Amino acid sequence: MRALRRSRLLIIVGVVALAGAGGYLYRLNREVDQVAKVIAEGMAEGYPAKPVDPASWSRVRDGMTKHEVRGILGDPPHVGSEVWDEYRDYWEYGHVSSVFAPVPDNRGHVVYFDKQGRVSSTRTPGL
C-alpha cells in the first residue's frame, strides 16, 4: 500500500513538473519569436536612429574630412559603401537602411565621401 502511494505521488509530481517545464518552454519560445520578429522587421525595413539636428546638418560642407563630420554630427549609426560610377563610402544619420538595401534609405540624412575620405555630397530625407 505504501509503495502504491509513493508511486502515485511520484507520478503526480512528474506530471506537474512536465507541465511546468512545458509552460516555461512555450513562454520562452513565444518570447524568442517576438524578438526574432522585431529583428527581422528592422533588417527588412530599416529603423529610425537618433534625429539629426538641423543646425548641425547645415554645417556639413563638401570637402570636409570624416573626422570633421564626426565632430559635427557624431558617430554615424550606419556606415556603408556603394559602387556606381566609382566607389564611395556613405554615412547615414536619422534613419538606418535595411540590410538588404543596395543604397541608403531615403528617410535618412546621408553624407557621401570620395576615395580620399572627404565629403563629396550630402542628401536630406526624401530626395
Q: Is 66 in the same domain as 30?
A: no
Provide the domain count of the chain.
Answer: 2
23: which 3 cell numbers?
509552460
Q: Spell out a b/e string for 31-63, using b for 16 or more CB atoms within 10 Å of the CB, else e.
A: eeeeeeeeeeeeeeebbebeebeeeebeebeee
Residues spanned by the domain of 32: 1-45
Structure confidence by residue, pLDDT tens digits, 16-57: 666 666 666 566 567 766 766 665 555 556 677 888 999 999
Q: Is 18 in the same domain as 56?
A: no
Q: Is 71 in the same domain as 98?
A: yes
Q: Is 54 in the same domain as 67?
A: yes
CA–CA dist 127, 123 (Å, integer): 7
Q: Is 18 in the same domain as 73?
A: no
Task: State residue 117's pLDDT score.
Answer: 93
Q: Is 79 in the same domain as 106?
A: yes
Q: Is 51 in the same domain as 34?
A: no
Task: State residue 57's pLDDT score.
Answer: 96
Question: Dihedrals φ, ψ of 91, to 5°?
Answer: -120, 130
Task: Indicate the pTM of the whole model.
Answer: 0.63
